[in-house]
Amino acid sequence: MTWRLLIFLTVAFLFTATLLPVLSMVFHTFFSHGNFDFSAYKVLFQDSSLTSFQNSLLLSLLVAAASTFAGTVLGIVLGKTKLPGSYVLVMLLTLPLLIPPYILALGWYEVLGREGFWGELLFGFWGTSWVLFCTYLPIPMLLSMLFLTQINPRFEEAARLMTGWPQVLRYITLPLLFPAVILSFLLVFILTFGEQSVANFLRFDVFSLESFTYFSAFYDFKTATVLAVPMVIVALLVLAAEQFGRHKHLWRFDTAYSIEKINLENTRIPLLIMILLLISLTVLLPLAHLFAEATDIHLWAEALTKAYQPILRSYLYATLGATALMVFGFFSGYLLTERMFAHRFYDAVLIFMFSLPATVTGIALILFWNTPYTNFIYGTPLIILFAYLGKYLALTAKITQNRLGQIPHSQVEAAQLAGANPFQVLRFILAPLSKKALLIAWVIGFIFSLRETTMTMLLYPPGYDTLPIYILTQMANGEPGMIAALSVIMILMSLLPLLVLGYFTKDPHD
Contact residues for another protein, defined by CB under 8 A: 46-48, 51, 102, 114-115, 197, 200-201, 203, 212-213, 215-219, 221, 316-317, 319-320, 323, 359, 363, 366-367, 370-372, 375-376, 378-382, 385, 427, 453, 457-458, 460-465, 469, 472-479
Sign of CA dihedral 428, 335, 191, 205: negative
Of residues 441 and 469, the one with the C-beta less far from another protein: 469
Within 10 Å of residue 339's Cβ, how many Cβ atoms? 10
Q: Which is nearer to another protein, 117 or 376 (CB)?
A: 376
CA quadruple 9, 11, 17, 20: dihedral sign: negative
- Supply the minimum distance, in Å, between the C-beta of residue 215 and another protein: 5
Q: How far apart are CA 494 and CA 425, in angstroms?
A: 34
- Between residues 153 and 461, which has the closer beta carbon with respect to another protein? 461
Task: Choose between 345 and 428: whose C-beta lies nearer to another protein.
Answer: 428
Task: Kindly state the smallest distance separating residue 268's Cβ from another protein, in Å.
Answer: 44
**Whole-angstrom distance, CA of residue 36 vs CA of residue 349:** 25
C-alpha 444/C-alpha 98 separation (Å) is 9
Select 64 or 484, whichever has its Cβ closest to another protein: 484
Q: What is the DSSP string of 295-339?
A: --HHHHHHHHHHHHHHHHHHHHHHHHHHHHHHHHHHHHHHHHHTT
Smallest separation, CB 59 to another protein (Å):
18
Q: What is the dihedral of CA 96, 102, 108, 112, to 10 degrees?
A: 170
238, 362 Cβ separation under 8 angstroms: no
> Would you say 70 or 475 has its CB closer to another protein?
475
Report in angstroms the alpha-carbon separations of 186 from 197, 234, 238, 250, 351.
20, 11, 6, 11, 12
Which one, 166 or 463, has the nearer CB to another protein?
Answer: 463
Min CB(370)–another protein separation in Å: 5
Q: Are 388 and 321 in contact (CB under 8 A)?
A: yes
Angle (CA) 147-285-182 rounded to 5° is 25
Instruction: State the minimum distance, in angstroms, from the CB of residue 403 to another protein.
Output: 20
Encode 23-62: b = buried (16+ Cβ within 10 Å), e = exposed: eebbeebeeeeeeeeeebeebeeeeebeebbebbbebbeb
Which of 81/323 has CB closer to another protein?
323
Nearer to another protein, 81 or 213 (CB): 213
Question: Shortest gap between Cβ of 384 and another protein (angstroms)?
Answer: 8
User: CA-CA distances (angstroms) from residue 14 to 314, 354, 365, 375?
Assistant: 23, 13, 13, 18
| Minimum distance, C-beta of residue 48 to another protein, in the bound complex (Å) | 4
- C-beta of 427: minimal distance to another protein in Å? 8
In the complex with another protein, the residue whose CB is nearer, 114 or 249, is 114
In angstroms, give the least distance from the CB of 170 to another protein.
Answer: 45
From the CB of 95, what's the least distance to another protein, in Å?
A: 22
φ, ψ for residue 198, nearest 5 deg? -70, -45
- Using the minimum distance from each CB to another protein, give the nearer residue, 340 or 420: 420
CB 450 within 8 A of CB 314: yes
Look at residues 476, 386, 358 and name the one whose alpha carbon lies nearest to residue 101: 358
Looking at the Cβ atoms of 217 and 417, the one nearer to another protein is: 217
Shortest separation between residue 296's beta carbon and another protein, angstroms: 18
Contact in structure between 83 and 271 (CB atoms under 8 Å): yes
Tell me whether residue 262 or residue 364 sits nearer to another protein (CB atom).
Answer: 364
CA within 13 Å, CB half, 213 = 14
Q: Shortest Cβ distance from residue 376 to another protein (Å)?
A: 6
H or E stretch at 445: helix 435-451
Q: Are strands 35-36 and 31-32 parallel, antiparallel or unpaired?
A: antiparallel
Cα separation, 94 vs 274, whole angstroms: 17
Please state the closest distance from residue 472 (CB atom) to another protein, in A: 4
Question: Between the CA of residue 266 and those of 73, 90, 244, 263, what are the distances in Å?
Answer: 18, 22, 44, 9
